[in-house]
Structures are given as structure tokens and as C-alpha cells.
Structure 1
Amino acid sequence: MSIEVKICGLSTEATLDAALDAGADLVGFVSFPKSPRHVAPEQAAALAERARGKARVTLLTVDADDALLADLVSAVAPDILQLHGAESVQRIKRLRTLYGREIWRAVPVSTADDVAAADPYWDVADRVLFDAKPPKGAVLPGGNGVAFDWDLIAGLDPKRRFVLSGGLTPETVGPAVRATRAPAVDVSSGVESAPGVKEPELIAAFVRAARSA
């Protein structure tokens, strides 16, 4: 099976089209006001509609409450909810019951203990997304342009449905996939010229490099 590629943090029609034209399997929109990639619900909804039927739509949130999530799901109608906060097993179960959508749980990694911390989520989330732990003082849970030691997840059971993220670029995604045997990869800052500014050429290069891995 071909590796799945997700381009996250898209915020314009032009860069969304670049991701779709490059053959991305998934596109992601961020609802987190502290992020330079944040898009308002109406903007996310319009972009999601543009992507519908061409790629699966992911909505990234960080500890969003029930009222906000209800508004976002109603507006955007995502295929996947990607949770980047401190959402518990119980919270994930509740959201699955409420919305009946695929759920990805992000797990920040810098040590082997962090990888082990994902264990409770394998049975409740559809996928675990391994991202680099934010640098000290960072305000964003992801999209910081840093990577973690891929060897930490190299020994994962290949049957696990995980996503590799964290500082990937067109230059590093190939080695990362070969090191981890990741079935899916996720990029945001690695295809940008500045925080939140996606570059079509980098998007295309990333998808090509991931596919060739």
C-alpha cells in the first residue's frame, strides 16, 4: 500500500489546490487562534468544500470544548478530528460517540517514555500521530519545525496505524519513512517559507519525496 501524505495548516485556495494537484491524500485545517496557521470556521468550511471528494479533510484542534467543537464540525464537516491537546481516553470516546468521525490523537515525543505514553490511545483513536515535543517555552503543540529521534518508534508493531510528523521536509521525509516504516506522514512547517506561509513548490516536492520513499 502506498504511503499516505497529509499537508496540514493550509489556509488559502492556492496552497490547497497545490496540495490537491500534488496528490495529497489528506489536507488539514487548524482551528487554534495562537497558531499562525489558524483559519476561522467559515474559511475552513470553504476550503474543506473545495477539497471534498479529492482528499480527506482533517480538522486540527487543541483542547476545544464541546460548544466550539460542535460549531466547527457543523461548519467544516471534517472526515477526521485531529486532537493536539491533553484530550483523555474518555474524551476521545465521548467525541467518537458524539460525531462518529475518525479521530487522530497527537502524542508529543522526545523520549522512549513519551512513545509508551501513546499506549492508552491505540484502542480508542483511529491513529496515533507522533509529533516532536515542543521546545521549552513554545506556545504551539505542533508546527514548530523540530524533529524527534525516529529510532524511538522504529520498533513499533507494523500493524499499528500511526502517522509520523514533526519537522519533516522534502529532504528528510524519505529517510524518516525508511527509518520508521511509517504508513502515513504529516507536514506543515516543512513546506513553508515563513510560519503559516505554504509554498506550492515545497508541497509538490514533499509529496514526491514521500511517495518515492
Structure 2
Amino acid sequence: MYVKICGLRSPEHAMLAASHGADAIGVVMSEPSPRHATPEEASAVIAAARTENPAIDTVLVVREMAAVDAAAMANNLGFDVLQLHGGYSAPEFAKARALHPRIWRAASLATTPGLRAGTYDEERLLVDSAVAGSGESWDLNLINGAELGLSWLLAGGLNPDNVADAIRSARPGGVDVSSGIEIAPGEKSPELIERFIAAARSV
């Protein structure tokens, strides 16, 4: 099970996630978000995660930023992956991928019926709630019958207490968490990070 811990701004939390077996860490760079990181914070998180696990995927998460600008920022800061949230078009993905080859797409079955991994030639598809980053749970029955393909991650409303059941129900290739490991918006809990990774690995 591929596990991504997202919304990190603290090097200590990045090292913790990496040391407990996270496959990826995500940094949000979107100013309306309480998880928005500065370039300096992003660089520190990347360095800390790689110190613990050089093979970990570091993911830049953006929305409402021009895709090519986001790709350039991912390159400049040294991220492995660019994750685009929202209504980006296939041509926008293609332009970003020309600059930064590893692109993930985040979308919702509630707003984008017929989702399938790879439609935009993305490396992975992240299937989220209708309001990304809200921590809101959503009806996993929407996944029934959906032809999502193999390379997709489940997100939205996950936490250490429900992630194992969600994996059993939806059978994703991986899981992504942000608000579900927080004690306040943007404030991560080391205990919840550890518990989430352990629960996801238990299935």
C-alpha cells in the first residue's frame, strides 16, 4: 500500500513520516490553504525527508496556478512530483509534463464522473472528496463500478481510525492524508502521522 503524508511544513514531521515508512510526502503551495508552505519551508521539508529516505517521493501540491508555472516551481525547488488539483485540461497537463515529467492529477468522482487513471497521461490519479483538503468524508460507494485503473490513490476524510476500512472497501493502490492527521488546520500531530501509516500498512 502506497502511503502519502501531505500538507507538511515541518522538517521534523517530514523525517518522522519517512522514518515510519511513508512512500511520499506532500507540500502544499497554495496561499488560501492553511497548509501553504513558503519556498524555504518546502526546501527544508524535502531535504529532511530525503535525509531519512533518499527514495521517498516528494510532491508539490498546487491548485489555481498555471500548470507550466507550477512545473517550473517544482523543478526549481527540487520536487520529484507535481500534483495538480482542480480543473486543469489535458493540454495544460501536457505542457506541464514537458517541463516536469512526473505529474499526478487530483480530482473528484462527485464533480468529474468517469474518472480513470492515465486519461491525461498522469502518473497517478488521486481520487478526492468534492472539496479537496477539507477533510470531509465522502461516499465511497461512488467508486463501485468506476473504471479507475490501477494507479490511483484514495483521499478525502481519511484518518488513522478509518483508513484500514476504507482500503478494504475501495481497494485503492494507495492512500493520501492531510487534515486527518492534524489537531488544528495546518497543525500536524506526530502521533497521528505514526498511527495513520501503521493503520494503512495493517491491511
TM-score past 0.5 threshold: yes
* Residue range with higher mean Cα deviation, 125-134 or 199-208: 125-134
Q: Which residue number in structure 2 is paired with residue 108 of structure 1?
A: 108
Equivalenced residue count is 200
CA distance in 2: counterparts of 1:25 and 1:119, whole angstroms: 22
* Structure 2 counterparts to residues 122-201 of structure 1, below 5 A: 122-134=119-131, 142-157=132-147, 159-201=149-191
Aligned to 1:85: 86
Moved over 6 A (4+): none
2:57 is the counterpart of 1:56: yes
Whether the 8 Å CA contact 2:108–2:129 is kept in 1: the answer is yes
What's the % identity of the aligned pairs? 38
Q: What is the Cα deviation at residue 54 of structure 1?
A: 4.6
Following superposition of structure 1 onto structure 2, how do residues 65-76 of structure 1 map, counting pairs within 5 Å? 65=66, 68-69=69-70, 71-76=72-77
Q: What amino acid is the match of 1:176? A: A
In 2, Cα distance between the equivalents of 1:68 and 1:179? Answer: 37
Separation in 2, partners of 1:67, 1:87: 11
Maintained 8 Å contact 1:154/1:179: no
The whole-number CA distance in structure 2 between the counterparts of 1:197 and 1:55 is 22
Gaps of 5+ in 2: none
Match of 1:207 in 2: 197
Moved more, 173-182 or 70-79: 70-79
Unaligned runs of 5+ in 1: 135-141
- Matched residue of 2:15: which SS? helix
| Cα 1:115/1:207, change in 2 over 3 Å | farther
Classify the secondary structure of the residue corresponding to 1:115.
coil
SS of 2:112's equivalent?
helix
Task: Output one character per residue of 1:139-196: Cα deviation in whole Å (capped at 9) or x when no partner.
Answer: xxx2111021112113345742111000100111111101111111000000000000
Give 1:75 deviation, angstroms: 3.1
- In 1, the alpha carbon distance for the partners of 2:9 and 2:39 equals 11
Q: Report which stretch shifted further, 26-35 or 12-21.
A: 12-21
Q: Hey, what does 2:36 align to over in structure 1? A: 38
Q: Distance in 2 between matches of 1:80 and 1:127?
A: 10
| Partners of 2:68 and 2:142 in 1: CA distance | 37
1:28 corresponds to which of 17, 26, 35: 26
Inter-partner Cα distance in structure 2 for 1:132 and 1:43: 27
Secondary structure of the corresponding residue to residue 113 of structure 2: helix
Shift of 1:66: 5.7
Counterpart-to-counterpart distance in 2, 1:165 and 1:197: 18
